[in-house]
């Protein structure tokens, strides 16, 4: 159940990263990074962080690189 809840949380946070409200987008990316640091198998979450780089938004790219 715990993994399922984190998966939903990460999915929702990733949606916030596409938000036009820059502070919310930045905080959501930071939260995804924090969740990744608490996981034993971080590959899926790291993949999501790497997908942020494809969004071509400067603030999203900058935050994703800091988290990676």
Predicted structure pTM score: 0.70
Neighbours of 14 (CB within 10 A): 18
pLDDT along the chain (68 residues), means of 10: 58 83 88 80 79 84 73
């Amino acid at each position: 159940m715990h993994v399922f809840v984190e998966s939903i949380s990460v999915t929702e946070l990733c949606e916030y990263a596409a938000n036009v409200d820059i502070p919310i987008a930045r905080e959501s990316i930071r939260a995804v990074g924090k969740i990744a640091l608490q996981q034993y198998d971080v590959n899926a979450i790291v993949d999501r962080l790497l997908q942020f780089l494809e969004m071509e938004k400067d603030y999203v790219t900058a935050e994703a690189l800091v988290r990676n």
